[in-house]
């Protein structure tokens, strides 16, 4: 069985079998998320990997799931950042329109 070498911020470098990992592939996103439990302290560890690394990991037997990122989430947003006043105005507008609280 082939071992995959990874580093966790908590405990350093490990070599784990493919079955110790889970990959979330974000189709249309900027990377894939690799998750595993640190064999030493048992903390959940996650790190972003590029899609080529993600494909390689899947070819090595890492289980995965794919989430399609909607087009709207990938659009560049313009304008200033939303402020707390914007949020409060939105809540007041929702109440004015009769939406449930
Ligand atoms: Zn650890």
Tens-digit pLDDT profile for residues 32-91:
999 999 999 999 999 999 999 999 999 999 999 999 999 888 888 888 889 999 999 999
Ligand 1: distance of its center to the CA of 16 in Å? Answer: 13
17-32: average pLDDT? 94
Ligand 1: distance of its center to the CA of 7 in Å? Answer: 9
Ligand 1: distance of its center to the CA of 44 in Å? Answer: 8
How would DSSP label each residue in 19-74?
GGEEEEEEETSS-EEEEEE-TTT--EEEEEE-HHHHHHHHHTT-EEEEEEPPHHHH
pLDDT digits (tens, 9 = 90+) for 56-67: 999 999 999 999
């Amino acid at each position: 069985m082939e071992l995959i070498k990874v580093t966790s911020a908590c405990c350093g470098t490990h070599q784990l079998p493919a079955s110790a990992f889970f990959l979330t592939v974000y189709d249309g996103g900027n990377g894939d998320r690799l998750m595993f439990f640190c064999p030493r302290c048992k903390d959940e560890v996650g790190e972003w990997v590029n899609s080529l690394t993600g494909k390689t990991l899947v070819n090595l037997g890492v289980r995965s799931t794919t989430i399609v990122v909607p087009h709207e989430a990938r659009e560049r947003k313009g304008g200033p950042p939303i402020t707390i006043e914007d949020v409060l105005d939105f809540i007041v507008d929702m109440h004015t329109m009769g939406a449930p609280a």
